[in-house]
Amino acid sequence: MFTYFARRHFGVLLAVLIGDAALFSAGCSRSPENQMQDVMRRVYTSNGRRLAVLYGRYMNRPLDKFPGRNGFRGPASAAEFRSFIAAMEPHVLHEFGVDAVAIDRLFISERDGRPLDVRYGIVGDLSTGYAVVFDGPAADGTTTVFMTDGSTISATEADAKKYRDGTLDVKPLQGSASQDA
């Protein structure tokens, strides 16, 4: 079963896998698990993207393991989100490029060393990405907005404010933000 992220980024994943298959057939003897971990690390290239995708995983977690919770809800607080991440299997965190003993570093921007801004308490579904992690503003005034589907948007500070408060959640405003899938 493909996740929404895998379906949306199937072309990128396929290209990376074909490249890895070419290396494998040329004599690199690597296991399929190692190849998939390499693919995951290439896709999840920043803490913002890792957090956003983990947030999406939280929203899509198995309901039988979390009785009394409605589906497709984001974590209500930073503590709840950190607990969810800490409870994940270390090998899963490793696939995302996360050190299981240094989860706090995941919440820090690699760009400037400041804490990433996370939007808690989203209620929705996974039919689309939600703006959940914000890195910025950068020196040029733009904020990188990370979506639960793994995509990013470079937004002006005015647009980033709309993403933060949920008035603009899924699609960038025409001509004012660029999308990078």
Predicted TM-score (pTM) above 0.95? no
What's the pLDDT score for residue 66? Answer: 55
Summarize the confidence of residues 154-179 as an average pLDDT.
74
What's the pLDDT score for residue 30? Answer: 59
Summarize the confidence of residues 33-41 as an average pLDDT.
56
Summarize the confidence of residues 130-143 as an average pLDDT.
92
CA dist list (Å): 90 to 66, 126, 128, 136, 156: 20, 25, 28, 29, 36
Per-residue model confidence as pLDDT tens digits over 94-120: 888 888 888 999 999 998 999 999 999
If you average pLDDT over every residue of the chain, what do you get?
75
| Residue ranges per structural domain of the chain | 44-180
Preceding amide of 75 cis, omega within 30: no
